[in-house]
Each structure stands twice: as C-alpha cells, then as structure tokens.
Chain A
Amino acid sequence: MKPIVPKKHEPVRIGFYVCHCGTNIAGMVDVAAVAKYVATLPNVAVSRHYKYMCSDPGQELIQQDIRENRLNRIVVEACSPLLHERTFRKAAEAAGLNPFQVQMVNTREHNSWVHTDRTEATRKAMALARAAIDRVPHHKALEVKKVAINPNVLIVGGGIAGIHAALTLARAGKMVYLVEREATIGGHMAKFDKTYPTLDCAMCVLSPKMASAGSHENIHLWSYSEVSKVDGYVGNFQVTVRRKPRYIIEDLCTGCQECVDACVYREPKFADEFNLGLGKRKPVFLPFPQAIPPVTMIDPEVCLNFKRGKNPDGSHTVSDKCKKTCVEACGDRKAIDFRQTDEFKNITVGTIIMATGFKIFDAKRTPFYGYGIYPNVYNALEVERLINASGPTEGDLILRNGQRPKKVAIVHCVGSRDENTNRWCSRVCCLYSLKLAHLIKEHTDAEVYNFYIDMRTPGKGMEEFYNRIAEEGMHLIRGKVADVYPDLDDGQTGRLVVQAEDTLTNKILKIPVDMVVLGVGLEPHPDAENLRRMFNLSCSAEGWFLERHCKLAPVDTFTDGIFLAGCCQGPKDIPDSVAQAGAAAAEAMALIDKGHIEQEPNTAYILADECSGCKSCIPLCPYTAISFDETREKALINEALCKGCGTCVASCPSGSIVQNLFEDEEIFSEIRGVLAPVPA
C-alpha cells in the first residue's frame, strides 16, 4: 500500500485500542471504562475495546480506522511490546502508516496479571493509556536501518546439538566455525551406551554425524579450543578463539596412533578422562577410538618431555628429557610439536549458536548416597561407560573389586527435585535409569531395584518404554532413598544396604545390594556464567541460558543473532536437543538469507546548532560512536556505530542530543501522563 504522506501541520488523530485478551486483561480491567475515558482525551479520534487485538480481525480494525478516520497515531493497550509491538507496527504499516507512529501500552504483564483489585487495575490502565496518548503526538516517522549480515556462523559446543546445527547450516552452504572445548566433538552423547526409548546404540547414530562434521568442506572444526572474546553485534560479531596446544599438528597427524604405541610408558598409567577415570591412558593418547578429529594429543602434565607443573600463565615448559620414541615413530609425518603454544584465531561471523551443554550433578553433594565414599556407588554416566563395548571394561559390567554385581539399586532424582540441591526435574533421569536397569539386567542378569519419587516418562514412545521395562521384571519402588551404608554382616565384598520407605506399601525397606547407581540430574555448566557475560546473554535463576520467550521464541536470546540449542538452555533429551539445534540453525539461516538486518531506529543524533562542543558525551559512549568535529567544534554521532542506549542523551548539559523513539519530550509526556488524574 502507498505510504500516507503526512501533510504539514496535519492535526494529530490518535486511534486507541484496548485489548481484552480474552479475559486476561478484561477479567481485571474494565476495558469499556478505559476506552470511554481515553475517548475524552485530547487528539483521540477513535477509542475502542476489542476481544483480541492481535488477531486478524483486530488488526483489520486498526487498518480500517487508519483508512476511514485518517488516523496518524496508534496506541494499543494490550500485552508487552516485547511480544506484539512488531505485530501492530506491521499492521499499521500495511495500512500506509509509518510503523513508528505506533505505541504499545503494557497492561497485561504489568497490570492485569499482577494485580488483584479491579478498580486499582482499571485506574492504572487509564494512567498508562494517558501516558501513551500524551506521548504519541511527539512521534516522528522513522526509517528502519538496514545493515548487511556476515553469512558465517559460530557454533559454541560440539555435542549432538552443536553438531546437528553445524551440519544443517553447512548443508545449506553456510560457513560454520564449530568450536569445542574438549579434544573431540561428541559431547555427552558419545559417552552413552544405548539411547532410550529405542535402545539403539548412541555411537552408531552419532559417529556418522561426527565424521561428516569433521570432513564437511563448510565446517571449520576447532576442537580443544575456546572462545576467548566476543565483540560486535548481530550480523557482525568479531570473535577470538583460543586454540589450545595439543602438541600434535592437526593437519599432519593421520590418526595412526603409532606414537601411542611407541610411548616410553609401555602400559597406560593415567586416568582416562573420556572414561571418567575408570580406565587408563598414556601421556599421548586418542580420547576414544571414534574421536573427531581423529588426532592424538599429549598431556603435558604427565608427559616426560615436559617439566612438571604449569607456568604461571598456564603454559608448560619443554624439558627434552624423554627419549621421544613417539617422535621417532611419527617419522617424516613430523606431526609432533612439543613447542606448540596457544594460537588465537580472529573470525567474523553474523550469527552465533550456543550449544554448550550441561554437566552432571556431583553426587558428592548428597553424601548420604555414599558416592566417593563407597567404591561400589557409581553415577549413571560411569555406568554408561562400564556397559559400553568400547569402555574401560569392554562392556563387561564389573565392579571396582572385579566382581559382577548380582543385585543393583538405581536411585532416581539424585540432586534433582530437592530444595537442598537443585529444585528442577532433570527430565532425562527416570528414562535413562530405566534404560540402565534394562542394560544392567541384560549384561549381568542381576536383580535391579529402581527407587523413584515419581516415574516421569513423557514423550513419544516413552510410556511404552516404561511399560516394557516394567514387564521385564524390574523392581520399581516408589520411595526416596534415605541412606546407603555398608552391610555390616558382610565385611569383605563391599556390599551396601539401601534404605528407603516404599510409599505405596508404607514399609521401610533395607535392601542389600552389590552396586548402587545414582541417577544424577543435569546442571548448568560451571562456566555458563562466564560465557553468559562474554556473549551478553541472560540466565535463568538456575543458571540455564534464558530464551527470549519460552513459547514463541524458544531458541532466540535477548541478544539479537545469538541462538540456543540443547541443554545449555535447560535439561532435555537427545531428540529435543536435535530438534532445538535444527530450530536454531533455521533461525540463523532466516537472518543470513535475508541478507541484511533491520535495526530499530532508536539511535541518537546531535542537534548541531545547539551543541556547545563541551565533549562530555564523548567518553560516555561504550561504542566510540561519538567523535568531535574540530573545525565546527561540535560532537558528531556515527549512526552506524550507535546502539541506541541513550546514555549520552541523558548526559548532554545543553539537551542537544536526541534519541529516536525515546526523545526527551516523549519521556516527559509519559511522566506527565502516568501522573495525571484519572477518574475514580
């Protein structure tokens, strides 16, 4: 539609619309009274109330009024502008009005939903409406700024979510930087044995995806690397990635592992991180057989060719005391480099996907379960490794004392749903505990006891899975385990007694078992706080990254151009992580393929005639967007750099800086409006 060109000195004609939002607003606010009151205010041409303003007929109502009543300002009193401002701006624009002539009044989140007195809420709705009615005459027609977007994407975290997002984007022809902190991608999923509810092997599904992520021409896979700095904004982020030294030149290593065989340590001697310390590795090692990239690395903490201990800056000094049989074995491939140091890579990307995952709850925080005290108490992830065919025991479930357990207790909700630890349900523990029950029974034919608070098995195929496991003859006991202690009748084998109240039969149970498996919950990564700061994200109170809107923008963040995938946003299973990763990739692609970013025109500018050249604004700008024109002795704002915070505007002693959409006059009229008397 042709834009309406406002005539000079055209009188302001406001259309006011208060939304019922079903009963969300109308239930607490007398919307008819609000509309009636607003109709009496200056410049108001139309004042209406309607059931759902955001619906098509609601928007059509506004558009019709714009056309028929020559409205040139629109005020919609409904929900938060963060939710529907765009909707109403678009509606107004479609009717030919400049979208920035629209103002929203938040009367749902800030009023009807949080107050209990209908009279008070109605008065507040009137006061807030008054503020907007006073504000909009100062609104000006503005244009959306368009900025080009860099098509490259950074993905932080190479678990299943990061891998899936990377492959989706790479397939669409986008260049992806996949940064993983560990030496290999794969994340937690690579450690699992089977996955519920289908019981297909985790690595069988994951390793082809890992391999294609490792070899895809559009993916720069940087493992053993961490993001150290992020600058810029959507469309143009400048990121510094620290590539930590693995003392193996990635491009030259063929993954033959001859260096591992040749190491002066004949036998693996050091705790193997991938197997959670249940197995051993040498100072030079491949994290696990299917590691991607398939490149070995050297642990300078234990390699004889390094001096003991770290330097203050975290680096290690070469001692050259070893025979270096590994270098000999590597031969003319020359892939080993003991003098490798941190390498910093600077990249520019337009969008970022955070897929930094979770950490499992440290069961030592619930000492009554005996984790870390009794050797036969394991956490679930350790058991995954013990029953995994490529694990430290090659799939033979044997205890630390070398015996096969005959009776196993699985404790659900360890660290979850508890005010003393984490209050949330970690969502995956009931199902993985059932899966482990099945696998343990399959591997050892042991009696398996599952102790649960509530059996939570939502999702497609999950309840069926629960029924299947229950029918396999598991003992499913509804009761929280109170204590795990050594069986005093049995001094030798390390047998434990699990004490719990069966809340269905009201009996205290004391069950002797050979092994206790703790169904530990999921927690935000301890580094999440640092990452949050670095990427300017928000976290929920629990420490998970906060999505922009839990229902309508579940993978967006409050920082434009940064998206969330997988467990960094909250506990979820593999199918949900993959689905979310796909969604994040699609959101990133939606930005990239548009080719440009539309920026809110809320930048500041200087009224040169009034600027006294005092320079007080210049040091205040965090984006160095303000410079000083020495010839004219005036400050100058570079609109391309201005992010629209308004800090300089508030500081200008002569009032000669103006922020679009938040002009002084607009704010003053809002203040006047909210404080104006309203009818009783």
Chain B
Amino acid sequence: MTRSSPASSGPWTPRIVAFFCNWCTYTAADLAGVSRMKHASNARIIRLMCSGRVDPQFVIDALTKGADGVLIGGCHPNDCHYAEGNYKCLRRFQMLKRMVADLGIEPDRLRLEWISAAEGEKVKRVVNEMTETLTALGPLGIPEKFHEWDREMEHFAQRVAAQEAASGASGCAEHAPQPRTPEPAHA
C-alpha cells in the first residue's frame, strides 16, 4: 500500500484528526470560519457532544489509520456544558500521552486544548501550531509500519520454518513448533 497523504502529489503535509466538543470548540471553529480567520487546512474536525466522549480508542484508531497527530478540543475547566466531561477527557489524555510514548510515538503528536466558543482566534493558532509541530516531527506512518512489521513477521516465520525443516530430521518432530502464517499485526 502506498502512503496516502493529503498532498501525495506535492510535498508531504501532516494530517490531523480533531475531536471537538459541540458546545465550545466546534462552535469556536465555526466562529473562526465566520470571521474568515485563515489557517492551515490540515485538520479534519469530527464533532462530538463533549470532549468526555473521546474514547482513547478513537485517538489510537486515528493514528493507526494514518493520522500524524490528534487534536482534542473541549470547554475550559469549570465551563463544560456537561459539568465535568472535560475533566474526564483530561484524565484520559494524560494516560494516552504516556501510553503513546511507551509505543514509541512522540507525545507531542497529541494535543488537548480548552477553546471556548468565543475563541475562534485560538482555533486558528492551535491548528497552525500543531501543523508546524507535526511538520517538524515528520510523518508518523503507522499503516506503513504495520506493513513493514507484517513483512518482518513473514520473513521471520519463513526463517523459523526453514530452520525447523533443516533440523527436523534429528529433532523430535512432535515437539517442534508448528510453522504458522502470522496474522497481520493491525488486524
């Protein structure tokens, strides 16, 4: 599979999946639009009712499907339309940052921002900043890595199979591990 970036014809630019809460940040992005605040076109906004709805799986899923970064936008502390969804989001976000670091992904690829409905300017700034950060970090390319890992696994399996075939005559055939075709890592 070839790498699909939004500018596969031109130079690479990052892809950001943004989860914005309906009441503050999504409305702020609307305000940025109404105010014609020009900013980088790299973010793809997905509307949720609350930042508390952001399942960590959404973030991981976005990265594995080819996003170079994930932005989460919610109401400012104490201003959540649902009282405290943004705090729940913050807790998960802290966990996610540590988790992706353990997975070898730069934590700066994830960003959580509190943007109120009046802060169109902040949407512009954050999207621009994040585009810059991700451009500096370069492509994440998890889908490509999956393919690479799949190839490595296949190669490894073949080697094991070959070794076993070679030693099969002398060793105990019953206890030899069965050569298997590995499952794709991203399945």
Contacts and interface: CB of A to CB of B under 8 A. Distances in A.
Contacts of A670: 46
Interface residues of B, number: 55
B67 interface: yes
A676 interface: yes
A134 to B, nearest CB: 11
30 contacts: A109-B29, A110-B45, A113-B36, A114-B38, A114-B41, A116-B38, A123-B7, A128-B44, A533-B78, A538-B23, A538-B24, A539-B116, A558-B81, A620-B52, A622-B85, A645-B49, A645-B50, A646-B48, A646-B49, A646-B50, A646-B53, A650-B53, A662-B48, A662-B53, A667-B46, A671-B65, A674-B44, A675-B62, A677-B4, A677-B8
B38 to A, nearest CB: 6
A256 to B, nearest CB: 47
A569 interface: no
A197 interface: no
Contacts of B92: 650
Interface in A592-609: 602
A113 B75 CA distance: 23
A674 B118 contact: no
Interface string A651-663: 1000000010010
Contact of A82 (B26, B55, B61): B26
A108 B45 CA distance: 13
A559 B9 CA distance: 45
A123 B6 contact: yes
Closest 9 CB pairs of A and B: A109-B33, A646-B53, A647-B52, A677-B4, A645-B82, A674-B44, A645-B50, A622-B83, A650-B55
Nearest to B39: A114
Contacts of A680: 8-9
Contacts, number: 152
B32 interface: yes
A108 B36 CA distance: 10
B111 interface: no
A671 B58 contact: yes
Given A81-B47, A114-B33, A127-B6, A675 B58 contact: no
B10 to A, nearest CB: 8
A538 B50 contact: no
A622 B85 CA distance: 8
Contacts of B79: 533, 536, 538
Interface in B78-100: 78-79, 81-85, 88, 92
Contacts of A533: 78-79
A678 B9 CA distance: 11
A355 interface: no
Chain A interface size, as a band, is 35 or more
B116 A538 contact: yes
A678 B66 CA distance: 13
Nearest to B50: A645
Interface in A100-135: 106, 108-111, 113-117, 120-121, 123-124, 127-128, 131
B49 A80 contact: no
Interface in A370-410: none
B119 interface: yes
Interface in B12-52: 15, 17, 22-24, 26-27, 29-30, 32-34, 36-39, 41, 44-50, 52
A650 B85 CA distance: 11
A531 to B, nearest CB: 13
Given A111-B41, A114-B36, A128-B44, A674 B50 contact: no
A668 interface: yes
B54 interface: yes
Contact of A622 (B22, B27, B47, B82): B82
